[in-house]
Amino acid sequence: MKVIVTGCAGFIGSHTTEELLSRGYDVIGIDCMTYAGSVQNMENFIQDIDFYEIDINWTERIRDLVQEENVEWIINFAAETHVDNSITSVEPFIHSNVNGVASLLEVCRATGCKLLHISTDEVYGSTTEGSFVETDNFSPRNPYSATKAAAEHLVTSFHNTYGTEYKMTRMSNNFGPRQHQEKFIPTILRSIKQGKKIPVYGDGKNIRDWFYVKDCAKCVVDVLESGEMNEVYNLTLQNELENVEIVSIILGHLGLEFQDVVEFVEDRLGHDFRYSIDNTKFLQISSVTPTSFEDSLRQTIEGE
């Protein structure tokens, strides 16, 4: 099968491109190479794909590619994802996460191509107990997650109005090699390398569900291959930890003392306390065995 992967030079997109190639897919990669995209992220596979440095908002060019290459699926990782950046300015997030998705949907409408859209657990908002299922209401609580929720509504509206076929994933907090430096674990490792204090928001008790990127890539391709059409799947292997726990585990690997290298800083505006999603629906179509957290964290540290 021939597929387009948008955001193939980014963190999760590059790992998923590798997974697709390992399963025999013919991949066309698209990335507009913002600060979050890197040629180095593609060094293991760029010779094995057809790569185009274009913006997903260039509807006509992508439509032509789909038609010329007989592409069956667009797998959309292209997005602005850093919450702090969205608080500073929402415009780039609207450009990529809303307008860009509308552009891809127009391509699908014109060509009959199908869309596998990559979303986030943040569309559900925060919860202190229990885990969200796919039918729960959205409650996005920052500009980033609001644009991702808007994108999802566009996808389902195109299906309802035009019959555009799709699959969708909402994934938990990824980590692993090649993650951009602005994210939490790379910030920890970079701060240590530079001899700076590790900044931790608030009291560090915020809870995230940590999902190794290579496991996530396998889950995404499992949804492509085995998921029901026009359905949404929560993707997680359920490993919830407080931010301070993540810091402590990494420092334990490196033989450093928490009190020597950590500083608590003013909390992020509107900082969600806990994200948690239920993966029962996904486990009905896949049996991915999670990489041990110790091994995945070691690979992440070594990858940095």
Query: Does residue 31 sit in the same domain as residue 136?
Result: yes
List the CATH number of the domain containing 198.
Answer: 3.90.25.10
Query: Does residue 255 sit in the same domain as residue 118?
Result: no
Is residue 236 within 8 A of residue 173, CB to CB? The reply is: no
Query: Does residue 19 sit in the same domain as residue 164?
Result: yes
pLDDT in tens, 205-222: 999 888 999 999 999 999
Is residue 73 within 8 A of residue 28, CB to CB? The reply is: no
The confidence score (pLDDT) of residue 253 equals: 87
**What is d(CA 279, CA 277) in angstroms, rounded to the nearest whole number?**
6
Residues in the chain: 304
pLDDT in tens, 253-285: 889 999 999 999 998 888 888 999 999 999 999
Q: CA dihedral defined by 107, 110, 115, 120, rounded to 10 degrees?
A: 50
Query: Does residue 168 sit in the same domain as residue 258?
Result: no
List the CATH number of the domain containing 99.
Answer: 3.40.50.720
Residue 250's domain spans which residues? 184-206+240-274+295-303
Query: Does residue 256 sit in the same domain as residue 165?
Result: no
Query: Does residue 97 sit in the same domain as residue 74?
Result: yes
**179 domain-assigned:** no
Give the active site residue among 18, 31, 80, 121: 121
Least confident residue range of 101-115, 252-266, 289-303: 289-303
pLDDT in tens, 118-165: 999 999 999 999 999 999 999 999 999 999 999 999 999 999 999 999
Query: Does residue 145 sit in the same domain as residue 201?
Result: no
List 69's β-bridge partners, or say none. Answer: none
pLDDT in tens, 19-56: 999 999 999 999 999 988 999 999 999 999 999 999 99
Query: Does residue 226 sit in the same domain as residue 91?
Result: yes
**134 domain-assigned:** yes
Give the active site residue among 144, 166, 233, 275: 144
- C-beta atoms surrounding 88 within 10 Å: 11
The confidence score (pLDDT) of residue 302 equals: 80
Is residue 65 within 8 A of residue 41, CB to CB? The reply is: no
Q: CA dihedral defined by 267, 272, 274, 275, rounded to 10 degrees?
A: -140
pLDDT in tens, 168-192: 999 999 999 998 888 898 899 999 9
**74 domain-assigned:** yes
> Which tokens sit at 193?
């390398």
For residue 166, indicate whether it is catalytic: no
Query: Does residue 145 sit in the same domain as residue 49?
Result: yes
Q: In the chain, where does DSSP find H-type helix?
A: 11-22, 59-69, 83-88, 91-93, 100-111, 143-162, 184-193, 213-226, 243-254, 258-261, 280-283, 293-303
Count up the domains in the chain and report the number: 2
The confidence score (pLDDT) of residue 304 equals: 53
The confidence score (pLDDT) of residue 12 equals: 96
Summarize the confidence of residues 2-12 as an average pLDDT: 97
Give the active site residue among 18, 19, 55, 122: 122
For residue 144, indicate whether it is catalytic: yes
What secondary structure does DSSP assign to 148-178, as a single string? HHHHHHHHHHHHHHH---EEEEEE-EEE-TT
Q: In 112-242, where does DSSP find H-type helix?
A: 143-162, 184-193, 213-226
Identify the three-state secondary structure at position 99.
helix
Q: What percent of the chain has pLDDT over 70?
A: 100
For residue 203, indicate whether it is catalytic: no
Query: Does residue 84 sit in the same domain as residue 231?
Result: yes
